[in-house]
Amino acid sequence: MKNIEANKVEINRQLEYIKKVAKINDGKNYTYYILTMGCQLNENDSEKLCGMAEQMGYTKVAEMNDADLIIFNTCCIRENAEDRLFGKLGEAKKVKEKRNSIIAIGGCMMQEKNMTDKIHESYPFVDILFGTHTLHKFPEDLYKAITTNKKLEDILDIDGEIIEGLPIKRDDEIKASVTIMNGCNNFCSYCIVPYVRGRERSRAPKDIIEEVRCLAKQGYKEITLLGQNVNSYLRVENEKGIEYEKYEGVSSFATLLRAVNKVDGIERIRFVSPHPKDFTDDVIEAIRDCDKVCKLVHLPLQSGSTNVLKVMNRKYSKEQYLNLVEKMKENIPNLTLSTDIIVGFPGETDEDFEDTLDVVKKVNFEQVYMFIYSRRAGTPGDKMENQVPDNIKHKRFDRLKELVESQIEKRNKEYVGTIQKVLVEGKSKTNENTYTGRTDSNKVVIFEGKEENIGKVLDVKIISEHMWYLKGAIVNG
């Protein structure tokens, strides 16, 4: 766990750099643009980058073309993100030529040596490269880039400390994400995350609870607890005897859920992503007991075939996954589930894929995030010889998509006529008088409402269904 004193010193150093840059920028009306790729953890990191940028005198703009500071917060979980970054860098070069903008690239992709090499070689106009563990040093990097006009690479080993306490500018006023742990120890054989985000490290219970309390005071209603493997929160620390300050009885993910559930003002708690192998009974009980914890659980399946799961190093079988789902359904009233599935992992046969479809049919997920397997250099999956041809991957993906969409359609119909608790998030973008919110199961609902409904949980009767949203009418409020 982190050294509190060292953390404070580092934060103060960065706050000094924030002041220095703000002084240089004073009166210049500079702007910044940020592009965030990938998962909610990256979005949360981007909120921190925005907080720092704004305190340094930059105002956010929606178009890269108008920006004096251009930040790319990258992801490397699948290949297409790289092509996207290279495309965007071409655009950024033109903006730089026009207004001498500073270009910074951070995030997971920068932890890969082949990527930083490629950027040095092919995109020499980039000013700052920073990694996932040097994000907090962005003010210092920016100051140096401005004052020395030199190219800066600030990428640390992947197990760096989590530095707390820098400014943050949140995207939303109702929902907020709170990172509870960083890194991953699982090494699923398709996944690059353990190589770029390092080993698991949990944040101190006190820091998390205080952040949630602070968010509640600011009026936030929904908290999403984030981590690559949330349900092994504090596991490494407990196993290795690494000391952390005891707070509110928190010593595991289950006890963290219970503590967050007690924070006044928070209405809803979600979490992503847990690992099925770590879904212990105490977590199931905490979800059941805590009224604020949503009963939609994201439970990544990845594959329904025991053979493929073994090669993926997931450490559960098809049967164990289905048994876990059964146990959860028995113990948690109104449980709904969402999942991640990869199709076309090396060696996946037609029979293996049928097993995936079988699990999807049996579990009847509320939402399925589907991915075509993407080879990641440095992972065991990339070295496997029995790669699945692209046309088969795509065919399987389309079949899975068809099944999932037919299930969602059916489920949506079941919502019609029911009354759902909806947390009102804001005005809908298309119509002045309509508002949007979400059910406990994370379905978008659109309905006529009033400004004062925002931030409240209301009973909404579902009137009609569409593929990606439901229409409703407020019953109370």
- Contacts with ligand 5AD by CB under 6 A lie at 77-78, 190-191, 300, 302, 340, 342, 371, 373-374, 376
Stretch in the footprint of ligand SF4 (CB under 6 A) among 158-166, 181-189, 248-256, 421-429: 181-189
Contact 92, 103 (CB under 8 A): yes
- The single residue listed with the structure tokens 């742990």 is 181
Q: Is 187 in the site for ligand SF4 (CB under 6 A)?
A: yes
DSSP string, 400-445: HHHHHHHHHHHHHHHHTT-EEEEEEEEE-SS-TTEEEEEETT--EE
Instruction: Find where tokens 């049919």 sit.
Output: 361
Q: Which does 374 bind (CB under 5 to 8 A by kind): ligand 5AD, ligand SF4, none?
A: ligand 5AD
Is residue 462 at the binding interface for ligand SF4, with CB under 6 A as the rule? no
Query: Residue 173 gets which letter from DSSP?
Result: S
Do residues 421 and 379 touch, judged by C-beta distance below 8 A? no
Q: Could you tell which of ligand 5AD, ligand SF4, none binds residue 131, using a CB distance below 5 to 8 A set by kind?
A: none
Interface with ligand SF4 in residues 272-291 (CB under 6 A): 275
Taking CB within 5 to 8 Å according to partner kind, which of ligand SF4, ligand 5AD, none is near residue 78? ligand 5AD
- Nearest distance from C-beta of residue 116 to ligand 5AD, angstroms: 20
Closer residue to ligand 5AD in complex, CB, 96/318: 318
CA distance 313 to 112: 22
Which is nearer to ligand SF4, 229 or 305 (by Cβ)? 229
Confirm or reject binding of residue 139 to ligand SF4 (CB under 6 A): no
What is the closest distance, in whole angstroms, from the C-beta atom of residue 468 to ligand 5AD in the complex? 20
Q: How far is the CB of 300 from ligand 5AD (least distance, A)?
A: 4
Residue partners of 461: CB distance under 8 A and separation at least 6:
417, 418, 419, 420, 472, 473, 474, 475
Please provide the size of the chain in residues.
477
- Shortest Cβ distance from residue 272 to ligand SF4 (Å)? 10
Closest by Cα among 191, 169, 461, 429 to 303? 191
Q: What are phi and psi of 421, to 5 degrees?
A: -80, 120
Scanning 62-70, 184-192, 234-242, 459-467 for contacts with ligand SF4 by CB under 6 A, the matching segment is: 184-192
Q: How far is CA 449 from the centre of its chain?
A: 30
- Report d(CA 208, CA 29) in Å as an integer: 35
Measure the N-to-C terminal CA separation of the chain; round to a whole number of Å.
45
Judged by CB under 6 A, the residue of 76, 193, 204, 363 near ligand SF4 is 193
With contacts defined by CB under 6 A, name the span among 19-27, 52-60, 187-195, 464-472 that binds ligand SF4: 187-195
What part of residues 219-258 is at the interface with ligand SF4 (CB under 6 A)? 228-229
- CA 312 – CA 45 distance, rounded (Å): 28
